[in-house]
Every structure is written in C-alpha cells, then in structure tokens.
Structure 1
Amino acid sequence: MPVARRRGRAGWIAGRLLIGVLALATLAATGVGWATYTDVVQGTVTANVLDKDAGGPKPVDGATDILLVGIDSRVDAQGNPLPEELLAKLNAGVAEGEINTDTLILLRVPNDGTKGIGISIPRDSYVDIPGGFGKHKINSAYGRAKRSAMDRLRKEGVTGGAELEVRSNQEGGQTLVRTIQQLTGSTIDHFAQVNLLGFADITEAVGGIEVCLLKPVNDRLSGARFPEGVQMVSGASALAFVRQRHDLPRGDLDRIVRQQVFLKGMAAKALSAGMLTDQSKLDPLLASLKKSIVLDQGWNLVDFARQAQGLAAGVEFQTIPTGSPALRTPSDGLAVEVTPSAVQKFVKALLNPGETPTSPAPVDNSAITVDVRNANGTAGVAGRVATTLTDKGFTVGQTTSVAARATSVARYPEGEKENAEKVVAALGVSVTLEQDTNMKSGRVAVLLGKDFKEEEEQEAPDRLLASPLPRQQPTSPNGTPCVN
C-alpha cells in the first residue's frame, strides 16, 4: 500500500515519540517494569539505519544525539494499513500519495543529567540528498530512497505489502540519517521514528496539555479552532493545535514554535504526573507504541534511562539558521535556503558546552560584481533586482534592457560557479547556470527572462518561514509560553 501524506504536517509526532522512548527507558531501569519493558521491546520494530562512521566527531562528554523523525504515514510500524476510523478520529485529512518526514528534531541528551537540547530542521530545507538523488527538500529524502528501494525490492521478488513497507522504510531511514549528518556535521547515535498512530490517546492519558494563544484562531485546513488565552488541549484538539501552519504570521516557523512548546509541556507533564509508574495509564500507551514506533537496532534503553533523567527538567529548543524562505527550485517549487557550513557552525556552537550559539556572520559579497539584464519585458525589473543585490552586499555593475527571452539564466566565468549560486540564492530564484569563458573573473551576468517573478509576485505562503524566532515569549500565569 502506498504510504500517503495528509494536509497539515505531523509536527505533533516528536512529542509523542520522545515520551514513548522515555517511557520504555524508565521501564527498563525499574525492576517492577522489567517484564512489561521486555514485552514491548520484543514487539517493537527496529531498523538498521545508522552509519556511525559518517558525520562529525563524537561529543567528548559522552552525550547522545538522537534523530526524532515524524512520518506522515498511513501504515503502522509493521507495515499494516491504519484503520479508516482511526484516521478519521485523528482528522488526518486526504491522502496525497506521498510520504514525507515532516518533523525532524536532532535531540542532544547530555551525560550529566542537565537539560536536553533540541534542534528543529524546517521540512522545506533545500539540501543535497546523498545516494545520487540530487538537491531537494529535506522532507523528501526518506520518501525518495523508500520509493527507489521499493522498485528494487519488487524486481527482487518481494511482493508482500507489509514486508515491502518495512524493508523500504529502513532504506528511507538510512538515507535520511546520512542527509541530516551531512547537513549538521553531527554523528547520530540513535534513531526513533513514529507514525500517525496513538497521539490522541497519549495526550488524553496525561490529562491534556496547557497551551496559551496570543489570539484566537480558526483554521479550516488543520481544524484548529481555539479562543485567545490559556486552555487545555488533548486528543484531536491537540493534534489541530500543532498541525496549524496557514494563517500564522511566520508560517511554518510559528508552527515549529508550537511544536517545541507543546513537546516541552507534554514531556514535563508525562514525566511528573506519575504516568510512567501507573500501570493502568501505561498499558494503553505501550500497546500503541508497539504499533507506531521504530527504533534503531542495538539501542540499550537501560543505559539511556540513566542518561535521560535530566530531560524531565526540560529541553531547550533552537532552529537551524536559514536564508530565503522562497528559494525557487527546478522541480520542488519554493523551498527554504540553507547553507551547510552555516548550519554546521551553528550546531557545533550550540551542542558544545561553554559556547554560545550565534547566527552566522553575514557573508561578504562585495567582491562579486553582478550585471543585471532585463529580458523580462517588464519595465524597471532590472533596477529593482539591482537594488535587492546591493542590499545584500553585492557590487552591481551594468543594468540594462536586452531582447526578451523566455527563460532566466545566470552566467559566470570559468571556475566561479559558486559566485553565480550565491547571486541566485540571494534573489530567491532558481535559474539555469551557464559558464561563459568570455567573462571576466569576479563577475556574474543575470538575464531576467519572462519566467522571472519578483518576490512580491511569487506564491509563497511560507515566505516568512526563515524570519528570526522570537527571543522572548509572553507567558501565562502558570509559565506556559504564549504563541501565535
């Protein structure tokens, strides 16, 4: 059965996933829960997805880096289709024929019992996907590798739906891990993946989560309908709260803030409310986890339980630095611009004790001279583009109008393709890059064809995706951060 995608992304999944892993770890560390722990672990799907030789060096303090992955999937961990009544209960929406990893959080669990650090990676980050897949949105890495594996496995004679799902999912996970390690420079120690199943049961088991909204919302796509102020959400309403993306001031970044606040609240309440030691509450949770969670092979949850005690105190969240939120791509529509070197610098500073994470310093573009030629047919386009480039530090050379042409192109001298890439990234467009041996070093010529659309013309519902996250958030009387 094809794995599908619903409207609104699975931002809520990481919270349930973290609680599930901690629940298993807590059981593993207690003699009372050992029999239950053994039963659940034996029934949990594991996957060989890690390549620990890739990525960066191991933390010197023995910390553990976990990739939390939320899959918008219509099958359980064993590859069996989810019941329609469950999908209806979750308000999962219409299947669209694709599988995406719509929640990606790199979680650092320290070895000294202090707070964890979670790093969110926007789903539309435009990155290179290892394995010959090229540059695409990061949330498609899993699905592209999965589809490729399914095609190969079918040719090898694997026809069983459940077996095909499990084996192809493993290859999807392997490619995703390599993609994240390549982007962040970190070595992933453990992998935890979860699908749609069981979210409502968990939020209801902990008695709901307190949230605080700065203003009322009424979003038809996600089903989010909430008044302003402090309120408790659970079940379907909790799902709607963390799914909403449209009608938020900063699009997906505001949804990431909701995910982060909700995750902190859910983990804190679950770990402080005695849920993990109340068998009547724990049994339904663990039964759901066996159907919905996938862990990497060889994860020693007893050791992890000792290390993860500090997570009860909370998790500090950050989001990787991003550039243009409306980067035009050849085949993926609008994406979020990311620079791997800037991401790696940010992640390294954030995860290393004693270093303060800072946004990357602005790149000096003044050595690149850009000639802008209007082949678009609309008066004034070249001048406005020249102003944009000047604002972003480039030196603007000639600004002229030339004969109209259908497609846009950026030309560069031999050996200086990177300069042309910087220019088109700064403009938030995707155009053909051509080497021109007649051009002088240090110059880029941009021809704006009829296909060129200025930023205000582009359909970019997430165009504020990469705006800075708020430094401070208003809080409710109980200390719950108030969000959009």
Structure 2
Amino acid sequence: MSAEQSSAPHRAPDRARGRKRTAPASGLPSRIGRIIASVVAVLCLVVTGIGWSLFNGLNSDLSSAGGLDVGDGGLDGAVDILLVGTDNRTDAQGNPLSPEELAMIRTGEEEGENTDTILLVRIPEDGSSATAVSIPRDVYVETSSVGPSKINGVYSAYKDASLAKAMESSSDGSLTEEDHREAIQQGRNGLIGAVEDLTGVRADHYAEIGLLGFVLMTDAVGGVPVCLNEDVNEPLSGANFHAGVQTISGSDALSFVRQRHNLPAGDLDRIVRQQAFMSQLVKQILSAGTLTDPTKLTNLVDAARRSFTIDENWDFVDFALKLKDISGGNVRFETIPVTSIDSYTEWGESIVTADPEQVSEFVAGFASGKDDDGTAEAPAGEAESPTTPPGVEPESVTVTVVNTTAIDGLAGRVSGSLSELGFVQGDLLTDPAAAYTSHVAAPSAGDAAAFAVADALGGLPVQVDPAIPQGSVRVVLAEDYSGPAGEASAVESASPETTTYAPLPPSIAERPTFDAGGTDVPCVN
C-alpha cells in the first residue's frame, strides 16, 4: 500500500470558497468585475422601463445585432432576456472610450472576450414581475461544436472557431470585416445555445453590455445604498468599505460588485453582492426622486445609448412601456442551483458544476405557468430512468481516495476495504480543503461504478465531476464519514437509477434572494 500523499496533484491551489489564493494574472479580476458591473446597470433599465417620455427615438439609437438564434414565440409563458457582459474598450457604437472614461472604470489596455456575467431575466407575459437568474461564470457546460467549457468561455470559443475557419478559406490569409462580424454572431449564438441547454429556456431577446454604463447609471441616480456585515479592504478589486449602511457610486460601486476574493463562497458570494446592489439600484430608479427628475432620466437613457446592444427584432420602447407599472417587490434576483463549487477539470481548472435537470426545473418556476402554491407546473411526461447497467467489474475500476479529515491513514484503510472487493487502488491523497461532505465523484451521471463504490461504503451520495477519467472514481472522505462499510454483494446490486449529489452546506446551497421592494438595505458579506 502506498503512503498517502500530502496534496492532490490534479487540484489547483485556487479554491472557489474564498480561502487565500495567489494573485491571478494581471488585469483578470478587474476585467471580470467590470463586466459584472455593466450587466448590473443595464438589467435595471430592462426591468424598470425607465423614463418612458424620453424613450422616443431610443430604438433607433440603440445598437442592434442581427442573425441571432432568439425567440420561441412566448411558448413557455414568459419573455426571456439573456443579458451578457463584455469587456469592450469602446462604446456600443464602436467609439473608443476617452482616457478619462477609461480611468473612471479603472480599466487597463488588455482586451478581453470572456462573458463573465450572464443573467437570464424571466418576465411573465402579463408583465407583472421580473426575475433575474444569475448563472455563475465557472459553470461547466457541454457544447455541440467546441466541446466542454466554462460557460464564460463559450462566446470566445465559438468566435475563435469561426475566425479560424475563415482564415483557412481566405485566399490571402487575411480576415475581412465580414469575417469578424460573422465570428461575433457565432460567438453570441454559441452562448445563447449553451444557456438554453443548461436552463431549458430559449431566450426571446439578447442584450449585450459594455463597461461604461455601470458608472454612468450609478452616478445618474446619485449613488446606491449598500450594507456590509464587516469592514472590507481587498486590494485586487479595490473594495475598501466600512461595515454597515453606506451610499456608494461610480468607481467605488464597481469595486463593491467586483470583489470575490476573501468571500466565504467566492464567486457565488460575489453574485450575492451584485444582486444586493441591483435590488437597491432598481429601487432607486423606481423611486419618485428619480422618475420625476428629468436630469437623472436623461443621464440614464444616455447610459443605455452608449453601452447597450440588443437583438434587431426587439422593440425595446414597446417592451419598456409594458413594464412601466411594475413594482419593486415584484423584481426578484435568484441564482441557479449548483452541485459543487470545488470541482476541477483534468487540466486543473477550477469549475462549478450544475445539473441541467435541476436548473431547468428551478428556472421554469419563474414563468407564468405556476400553480396556486407558487411552484412550477410539472412538465409534460416524466423522464425515464436510466436502464440498470450490467454488473460492475471491480477490476476495471480505479478508485482514488482523498482524506480531508485529521484522521491519519483513513484513505489507506478505506482503499484497502475497497481492494478486498476487487477495486483497483488509485492514489491515496490528503487534502483538507477538498470538500465539506463525504461523497463519491464520477465522470458522468449514472456511472454504475460510482454507485457500486458508494454502496460499498455505506451509501455515500454520488456527484458528477467531469475532470475524472473514464473508468475511475474518486472517494472524498470528510468529517461526516462513518465507514468504511459494505459487502461484496454491493458490487452486483449497484443500480444508478437516479443521480444524487453530495449535499452542499447550507451556507453554499441556500443562496439569499433579493427584491427591489421595501425600505431595508440588506447586509451581505
């Protein structure tokens, strides 16, 4: 039996749960944060329909994008808007930002193409409410053309693939403006498809937002009140705030929604920051002090003109008018459920995993088809359970065991128990930060070997981790582990009829929700 190693070689040091990390590549955190901030700003335009008297001519002023795969004719009972943040150093009309504007948004020279903020806004057809559902940027998805990817990299992957194809067919090895326009369209459509595959919702409209609008909108309303549980001084994002309620604007507001380092749940807690901020910004926009102030309204509409690109078939003025009577209490902010925040690809890239069936069921609840108790109507037909696979051959399954506890030799003892059942012993690892709860991780849903191992260890839950090679499983032993236990017969009886996931701790699984009603300012990390 080999000695337990001190760390897991397949795991990168940058954990998703807010422990101290090494600084990432220069410019990346700020670029991601600015994208997030831009989406926060324009979402408020979308769900409030502000300044209706000033929207005359706004349709013609907004930049538009053609050839997008959007629109399902309202068949799912809601108007669905995909809001995407981009890291452009130009405005929506292609004009470069001035040096003063670049300084205001605290940007650098490096261009970026990841879409690090993705929101699906669901509005029932009667316009009575709006729910903005955040999709974490690190969610791992399968795509039809470019393979598995973090969802924030889908746009750039499709765009790059289109440019590469154009280059191959170019007679002189150069690219035309048309090639670039086609590549951008392919990037947008690739992302639209990935979101549909994850959520089960086909977007009716698409909105893409640049960087400048956030600062302009926040300043236009005179700042936004926020509340922090503790003092914050985090240099990577520039967040430097005292605890309690305070009003922030401009670049300081951008830093507030950018921070993810030193937060307990990393990017998920940053989403909480964004949603708390958005709820207060919507509340500010809906207030009489904004709606009766021509200067504020003019500045808000100007921010939309400079930073907002929409699909060419969207009559934004008509849409805004339908929402003009919406109340703040009916503007909600939610986050999709995830199955893990600490998984890794085979290249050591940190990812978040989500079950599309869980996500689809969750998102469906925010359309108009709800029953009396507020839950979504059941979809027509029940999904068939996977066919029970033939008996597992233990000698074909390699099991890595990770000990996250302070119990010396636990991985070795559990591995030995599994070896007695015929499983092939893999690495024995010690990684105190690997997980919160004991579980068996498999490369895909319904993996029979994972369920066999789980049953042999007393019925541990099973979760999916795409980074695990086929023919292998990983056992993670946390403080709640009470085995090893199990009989050899468990290998024959394993039946993955349903995929279960290791439960996340309440602090991660139970994401707070926000709305734009009331007078309180919610306090967050």
For Structure 1 versus Structure 2, the TM-score category normalised by the shorter chain is 0.7 to 0.9
Alignment of 1:323-362 (within 5 A): 323-331=339-347, 333-351=349-367, 352-354=369-371, 356=374
What is the 5 A alignment of 1:46-445? 46-48=64-66, 50-52=68-70, 58-60=75-77, 63-92=78-107, 95=110, 98-130=112-144, 132-153=145-166, 156=170, 158-160=175-177, 166-273=181-288, 275=290, 278-314=293-329, 315-331=331-347, 333-351=349-367, 352-354=369-371, 356=374, 373=399, 380-383=410-413, 398=421, 402=425, 418-419=447-448, 426=463, 428=465, 430-434=467-471
1:26 deviation in Å?
4.7
Q: Secondary structure at the residue paired with 1:101? A: coil
Q: For the residues of structure 2 that align with 1:383 and 1:81, how far apart are their CA atoms?
A: 62
Q: How does 1:439-478 map to 2 (within 5 A)?
A: 467-470=508-511, 478=519
Q: Distance in 2 between matches of 1:41 and 1:323?
A: 41
Deviation at 1:14, TM superposition (A): 2.4
Alignment correspondent of 2:522: 481
1:20 aligns with 2:38: no
Equivalent pairs counted in the alignment come to 429
Mapped partners of 2:200, 2:415: distance in 1: 34
Segments of 5+ residues of structure 2 without an aligned counterpart are 1-26, 377-384, 403-407, 430-439, 455-460, 473-490, 496-503
| CA root-mean-square deviation | 4.4
State the secondary structure of the residue aligned to 2:153.
Answer: helix
Change (3 A) 1:101 1:396: farther
AA at the equivalent of 1:12: A
Q: CA contact under 8 A between 2:401 and 2:411: conserved in structure 1?
A: no
Kindly indicate whether the alpha-carbon contact (under 8 Å) linking 2:338 and 2:509 is maintained by their aligned counterparts in 1: no
Q: Spell out, residue by residue over 1:238-260, the C-alpha distance to the aligned partner (whole angstroms, 9 max, x if none).
A: 00000000011111111111111
Q: For residues 386-443 of structure 1, give each alpha carbon's deviation from its aligned partner in whole angstroms, at most 9, with x where no partner exists.
A: 99xxxxxxx998387758799xxx999xx997445888973757232149xxxx8766
* Conserved 8 A contact 1:191-1:296: yes
Cα distance change, pair 375–339 in 1 and its aligned pair in 2 (3 A):
closer
SS at match of 1:129: coil
Shift of 1:331: 4.0
- Cα distance 1:400–1:184, how it changes in 2: closer, same or farther (>3 A)? closer
Amino acid in the other structure paired with 1:287: D
C-alpha distance in structure 2 between counterparts of 1:100 and 1:71, whole Å:
7
Query: TM-score with structure 1 length normalisation?
Result: 0.74
One-letter code of the match for 1:426?
Answer: Q
Larger deviation: 423-432 or 234-243?
423-432
Could you say if the C-alpha distance between residues 83 and 379 of structure 1 is closer, same or farther in structure 2, counting changes exceeding 3 Å? farther
Give the distance between the partners of 1:346 and 1:247, measured in 2 at CA. Answer: 29
Tell me, in whole angstroms, the C-alpha distance in 1 between the residues paired with 2:105 and 2:67.
29
Q: Which residue of 1 aligns with 2:19?
A: none
Shift of 1:317: 1.8
User: Post-superposition shift, 1:176?
Assistant: 0.8
CA contact (8 A) 1:14 1:68 kept: yes
Fraction of identical pairs, as percent: 33
State how far apart, in whole Å, the 2-side matches of 1:426 and 1:47 are: 39
